[in-house]
A = this chain, B = another copy of it.
Amino acid sequence: MSARYLQIASELRLAVDRGEYPIGSLLPSEGELAARYGVARGTVRQAVALLEREGVVTHRQGARRTVVGAVPTQSFAEMQSFSMWAVSQGHVPSARVLHKEVRRVTGADVERLNAPLGEEVLDLRRVRLLDGVAVMVERTLYAGILAEHVLAMELTEGSITERLTESGFVYAHADHRIDAVSAGVVEAELLGVRRGSALLRQRRVTTSPSGVALEWSDDRYRADAVTITVRNSMSENTLARLSARGPGRARQVARPGPVGSSVGVF
């Protein structure tokens, strides 16, 4: 039995999906919803706040909430795990292992993945396939505590994240850095694209509820394979844009001319 406000949020979400509250229409007032569901206004507010963060409704003080859309939302787990995501989308995921090694974090890892120097990790590199087609190359560093669990797994199918979750590890929070890179020779070969072609790179640090980092990963997708979507709002912004020329007053020498050079071996 989940919390009442979650039930109410679900009911409202479904009602929006069913077209009972078309896009552009107004939601009933908080008081009216409270009466309808037989709860206090505070509970209704928890429910609509959730819908607001999901991007389903907007807020304007003094006016009723407006329905802005029925947005497909993916769970944190589906965003975290390629396998779980693929399955939820109706695709068949698989993997091919390229490299598997327990070692210590090097300077290159620090720069690329923000991992802490010297820590013992499991370095796993795989090609990920969607319905048999290679769409992504990933490198994941698993924290030492996870290493033995991961090493004991079948790594070519199923979700590592899901099995770690079953073992009691909880993923709670993730930081993503998204940019574009050119395919190096190795990546081009693995993904079946031309060298130098565009890849979407998603680097991620995932932490447990207590803030301990569990994974550092670097995923590179074929440009035609996936799109990442994000919603933000005035009351809710987890998005930021970082300048590669350095934030702050940095006045580096501009580096014009061609870029697009390969990033080398993955």
A167 contacts chain B at the CB level, 8 A cutoff: no
A100 contacts chain B at the CB level, 8 A cutoff: no
Residue contact A172 to B256, C-beta cutoff 8 Å: no
* B contact residues around A237 at 8 Å (CB): 73-76, 79
Interface 0/1 of A197-237, CB less than 8 Å to B:
11111000001011110000000011111111111111011
A192 touches which of B53, B54, B86, B258 (Cβ 8 Å): B258
Count residues of chain A with CB under 8 A from any CB of chain B: 92
A242 contacts chain B at the CB level, 8 A cutoff: yes
* B contact residues around A67 at 8 Å (CB): 211
Interface 0/1 of A45-81, CB less than 8 Å to B:
0000000011100111001001111001111101100
User: For the complex formed by this chain, how many copies does it contain in all?
Assistant: 2
How far, in whole Å, are A192 and B254 apart by their CA atoms in the complex? Answer: 12
Residue contact A238 to B228, C-beta cutoff 8 Å: no
Residue contact B260 to A242, C-beta cutoff 8 Å: no
Given known A-B contacts A130-B245, A239-B230, A211 and B259 have beta carbons under 8 A apart: no
- For this complex, 18 residue pairs linking A to B, each with C-beta atoms less than 8 Å apart, are A58-B173, A58-B207, A59-B209, A76-B232, A76-B234, A79-B241, A91-B245, A131-B251, A133-B256, A176-B229, A179-B200, A180-B180, A180-B221, A182-B223, A193-B259, A223-B259, A224-B255, A230-B230
